[in-house]
Protein backbone atom coordinates (compact mmCIF):
# COMPACT_ATOMS: atom_id res chain seq x y z
CA UNK A 1 0.00 0.00 0.00
CA UNK A 2 1.27 3.47 -0.87
CA UNK A 3 -0.29 6.78 0.20
CA UNK A 4 0.72 10.09 -1.40
CA UNK A 5 -0.50 13.49 -2.60
CA UNK A 6 -0.02 14.26 -6.29
CA UNK A 7 -1.69 14.81 -9.67
CA UNK A 8 -0.48 11.55 -11.26
CA UNK A 9 0.87 8.17 -10.16
CA UNK A 10 2.92 5.66 -12.15
CA UNK A 11 3.75 2.08 -11.18
CA UNK A 12 6.72 0.74 -13.16
CA UNK A 13 8.16 -2.73 -13.28
CA UNK A 14 8.82 -5.78 -15.44
CA UNK A 15 6.67 -7.97 -17.60
CA UNK A 16 8.14 -11.47 -18.00
CA UNK A 17 7.21 -15.00 -19.11
CA UNK A 18 7.07 -15.95 -15.40
CA UNK A 19 4.81 -13.06 -14.37
CA UNK A 20 1.16 -13.39 -13.45
CA UNK A 21 -1.91 -11.38 -12.62
CA UNK A 22 -2.22 -8.48 -10.20
CA UNK A 23 -4.90 -6.08 -9.00
CA UNK A 24 -4.44 -2.32 -8.62
CA UNK A 25 -6.81 -0.30 -6.46
CA UNK A 26 -6.66 3.50 -6.30
CA UNK A 27 -8.51 5.11 -3.41
CA UNK A 28 -11.96 3.49 -3.04
CA UNK A 29 -12.36 2.45 -6.68
CA UNK A 30 -13.01 -1.13 -7.74
CA UNK A 31 -9.79 -3.10 -8.27
CA UNK A 32 -8.39 -3.26 -11.80
CA UNK A 33 -7.32 -6.78 -12.81
CA UNK A 34 -4.11 -6.62 -14.86
CA UNK A 35 -1.42 -9.01 -16.09
CA UNK A 36 2.38 -8.63 -16.16
CA UNK A 37 2.85 -11.71 -18.33
CA UNK A 38 4.67 -11.30 -21.66
CA UNK A 39 6.86 -13.38 -23.92
CA UNK A 40 9.95 -11.23 -23.17
CA UNK A 41 11.46 -9.54 -20.11
CA UNK A 42 10.45 -5.91 -20.60
CA UNK A 43 10.68 -2.83 -18.38
CA UNK A 44 7.31 -1.09 -18.62
CA UNK A 45 4.57 0.94 -16.95
CA UNK A 46 2.30 -1.43 -15.03
CA UNK A 47 -0.25 1.25 -14.01
CA UNK A 48 -0.70 4.96 -14.75
CA UNK A 49 -3.34 7.41 -13.58
CA UNK A 50 -3.38 11.14 -14.28
CA UNK A 51 -5.80 13.94 -13.36
CA UNK A 52 -5.74 13.24 -9.61
CA UNK A 53 -6.84 15.88 -7.13
CA UNK A 54 -3.62 17.30 -5.59
CA UNK A 55 -5.49 18.40 -2.45
CA UNK A 56 -6.33 14.79 -1.51
CA UNK A 57 -4.06 12.01 -0.25
CA UNK A 58 -4.42 9.05 -2.62
CA UNK A 59 -3.97 5.41 -1.66
CA UNK A 60 -2.59 2.89 -4.17
CA UNK A 61 -2.83 -0.82 -3.35
CA UNK A 62 -1.15 -3.49 -5.50
CA UNK A 63 -2.00 -7.16 -4.93
CA UNK A 64 -0.23 -10.06 -6.64
CA UNK A 65 -3.08 -12.45 -7.45
CA UNK A 66 -0.84 -15.20 -8.83
CA UNK A 67 -0.80 -17.16 -12.05
CA UNK A 68 -3.22 -16.25 -14.81
CA UNK A 69 -5.64 -18.94 -15.95
CA UNK A 70 -3.80 -21.91 -17.43
CA UNK A 71 -0.36 -20.44 -16.71
CA UNK A 72 2.22 -21.18 -14.02
CA UNK A 73 4.03 -17.86 -13.49
CA UNK A 74 3.14 -15.68 -10.54
CA UNK A 75 6.04 -13.19 -10.41
CA UNK A 76 5.26 -9.50 -9.87
CA UNK A 77 8.36 -7.32 -10.26
CA UNK A 78 7.73 -3.69 -9.23
CA UNK A 79 10.58 -1.27 -9.86
CA UNK A 80 9.17 2.07 -8.71
CA UNK A 81 6.15 4.11 -7.76
CA UNK A 82 6.41 7.68 -9.06
CA UNK A 83 4.15 10.51 -7.95
CA UNK A 84 3.87 13.66 -10.06
CA UNK A 85 2.74 16.92 -8.53
CA UNK A 86 2.05 19.76 -10.97
CA UNK A 87 2.42 23.23 -9.47
CA UNK A 88 0.54 26.04 -11.16
CA UNK A 89 2.60 29.11 -11.99
CA UNK A 90 1.29 32.44 -10.69
CA UNK A 91 3.19 34.53 -13.16
Residue 61, pLDDT above cutoff 90: yes
Residue 2, pLDDT above cutoff 70: no
Question: Which is higher by pLDDT, 69 or 19?
Answer: 19
Residue 25, pLDDT above cutoff 90: yes
The mean pLDDT of 45-49, rounded to a whole number, is 97
58 near 64, Cβ under 8 Å? no
Q: What is the structure's pLDDT at 85?
A: 84
Calculate the alpha carbon distances from 79 to 10, 28, 51 in Å: 11, 24, 23
Name beta bridge partners: 35. Answer: 21
Q: What is the structure's pLDDT at 73?
A: 82
CA 68, distance to chain mean position in Å, is 17
Q: What is the structure's pLDDT at 68?
A: 73
Q: What is the pTM of this model?
A: 0.87
Amino acid sequence: MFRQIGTAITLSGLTTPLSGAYNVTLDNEAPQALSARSSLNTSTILFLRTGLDPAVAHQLTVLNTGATSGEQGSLLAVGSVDVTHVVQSSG
